[in-house]
Amino acid sequence: MGGHEAVAISSRRVLVTGVAGFIGSHLAEALLDAGNEVVGVDAFVGFHGAEHKHRHLESLRPRRGFTFHELDLRHAPLEPALDGVDVVVHEAALAGLPTSWADVDSYVTCNITGTARLLEAARHAGVAKFVHASTSSVYGRDAVGDELQQTRPVSPYGVSKLAAEKLVMAYVELHDLPATVLRYFSIYGPRQRPDMAYQIFIEALADGRPITVFGDGHQSRSNTYVSDCVAATVAAIDGAQVGEVYNVGGGVTLELREAIELIARAIGVTPKVVHGPSRRGDQRVTSADFSKARDTFGYEPAVAPPEGLAAQVDWALAARMQDAA
């Protein structure tokens, strides 16, 4: 599944932070598949179960070329993890908009302090490239268009991620750190975080529970399948320009109610939907113009939502059966 083979880059040692997470674990697999060494870092923090993150690491731990450091970017010495590292891909963060109102301090420290400490360590290690995972949430309630849109985040999450981007750019400016920022748009697929909408919908429909949609269901997303996100990130290591920001989005924008229909069809049920009030900080419309990534490093999304959501459903149902066994 997934339209991309990871681009074969010459064998290098790549530090992936947040490696036990949704995107980080897929990225580490792709980098290993392409013949790289991967040094993974994670602290198993966040609002959703650490057991998911441990499970994501299961297939990585035995692989040749993979080493893991359990450490918190906010406090731990980072030099050992950076030893001999050529490339850093910084995926670690506390993610999720609505939960960020509940624990602003953790979002600020993980996403800003953690990034600042990693940048400083990467500078001293003299890495050849630093790729920073950011988000469409830096744009705000609507994220429609290219990278020149105004950044007006409406959640502590979005604000913390924008501050992290600014720190990255300060290191480019002041220390010539060869860094690039990628703004991901709504990533989905197997291992999606349990707090994310599609995963919540799959679990509810599989249990026969109604789905709660916050708002009218007409909110839309530039859904990006995880293998497309990973392919863009791998391509950006060599292809993205230093000091530049790139949108990474899917080619199809889907309304929430359309996504629910696709998920229900893949499970084989009729969805029951109840509506709740819109939540603080939720985005309304996201639609990525990713032509800069396409023109610079050849990014082209390959997986469309019907196929991608069916793959996520297959994975989620298999995981439920494993849990029940």
Ligand X SMILES: NC(=O)c1ccc[n+]([C@@H]2O[C@H](COP(=O)([O-])OP(=O)(O)OC[C@H]3O[C@@H](n4cnc5c(N)ncnc54)[C@H](O)[C@@H]3O)[C@@H](O)[C@H]2O)c1
The identity of residue 90, as a single letter, is H
Q: Which residues contact 319 (CB under 8 A, 6 or more apart)?
A: none
Q: Which of 91, 147, 165, 228 binds ligand X (CB under 6 A)?
A: 91
Q: Which stretch binds ligand X (CB under 6 A): 16-24, 214-222, 297-305, 311-319?
A: 16-24
* Helical pair 197-207 and 256-267, crossing angle rounded to 10 deg: 40
Based on CB atoms, which residue is closest to ligand X, 20 or 127? 20
- CB count within 10 Å of CB 141 equals 17
Task: Encode burial over 31-67: b for 16+ CB neighbours within 10 A, e otherwise.
Answer: bbebebbbbbbbbebbbbeeebbebbbeebeeeeebe
Q: Which segment (43-51, 140-148, 272-280, 293-301) binds ligand X by CB under 6 A?
A: 43-51
Interface segment toward ligand X; rule CB under 6 A; list 2-10, 29-37, 85-93, 269-277: 85-93
Which residue's CB is nearer to ligand X, number 36 or number 111?
A: 111
* Least distance to ligand X, CB of residue 169, Å: 16
Lookup result for tokens 């406090």: 75
Q: Where are the alpha helices (DSSP H) in the chain?
A: 22-33, 50-58, 79-82, 104-108, 114-125, 156-175, 197-207, 226-239, 256-267, 291-297, 305-324
Q: Which residue in the set 73, 260, 267, 316 belongs to the binding site for ligand X (CB under 6 A)?
A: 73
| Shortest distance, position 43 Cβ to ligand X, whole Å | 3
Dihedral sign, Cα of residue 130, residue 3, residue 316, residue 261 = positive
Structure tokens at 70: 């359990």
Q: What are phi and psi of 14, to 5 degrees?
A: -115, 125
Q: Which residue's Cβ has the minimum distance to ligand X?
A: 21
Closer Cβ to ligand X, 27 or 125, answer by number:
27
Q: Does the footprint of ligand X cover residue 92 (CB under 6 A)? A: yes
Looking at residues 105 to 134 of the shown chain, list those that interact with ligand X (rule: CB under 6 A).
Answer: 110, 114, 133
Please list the active-site residues: 157
β-strands 220-222, 253-255: how paired?
A: antiparallel
Q: Which of 6, 45, 78, 125 binds ligand X (CB under 6 A)?
A: 45
Tell me which of 55, 65, 72, 285 binds ligand X, using CB under 6 A: 72
Residue numbers at the binding site for ligand X (CB under 6 A): 18, 20-24, 41-46, 53, 72-74, 91-95, 110, 114, 133, 135, 161, 184, 186-187, 193
